[in-house]
Amino acid sequence: LSRQLGFHASKVAVNATPPTERGDVTIEVQPASWEEEDGKVVTVGQSWLQMSSQLRPKFSYRKNPQIQPVQEIVLSKVDLAKQRKKMRVAVFAQAAYLNMLPELQQCITNVGAAQANTGSTVDVYLSTPLAQQSELPHITEKMKQATPALGVLEVSITQNKGADFGQFLQQMQSAAGREYDAVLKIHTKSQDFIRKPILNLLCGDSDTAQ
């Protein structure tokens, strides 16, 4: 339903009666909250209208006068940005392959932008097990410049043991004593067809990260 309408729906009941002999179906929608793709306004808008226009020949609302046509159901407008809760967020990134670090950085940048929208910060823990000590200042400075709402930043050369999870466990030891509401773990998976879709789904833009 969300894909068809073009925005995210939550806590919404949709009830449909069995088809009549003419093929008409009555749909009853009990909306609680709708979130458009821009994440700012709760409303039923053009997407509903387009969908109902396409389905109108198969649907009848005359059977039950208490049920409004879909395109006439409009919810109150709400600014979701004001309702977003501040969260303590950390990103744990493992970059064994430094040539893929820009992809991780873009993800971290999007998380930082999402945190900035709520007046929060993001803590970043980056492990670079194959980097040289002389490379760390440059990597650290670039990450500082590219990450909005940056809180704690720790760039370290962890032991290259246990693959990405071995690095993650070492990073968690470094973060001991700090509490977070949400943690994002990402790493430089060598296969493009796995890494790219995962990063896109997790933090492809600031709205996704939010």
Say how many C-beta atoms besides its own lie within 10 A of residue 27's C-beta.
16
Q: What letter would DSSP give residue 187? A: E
**Burial (0-12, 13-18, 19+ Cβ within 10 Å), 132:** exposed
**pTM of structure:** 0.61
Mind listing the pLDDT tens digit for each residue in 69-105? 444 444 444 455 555 678 999 999 999 999 999 999 9
What dihedral angle (degrees, nearest 10) is formed by the CA atoms of 54, 55, 60, 64?
-100
**Quick one: average pLDDT of 170-177?**
93
**For residues 5 and 17, what is the distance between their CA atoms, to the nearest angstrom?**
21
| Residue bearing tokens 């009549």 | 20
**Quick one: average pLDDT of 135-153?**
96
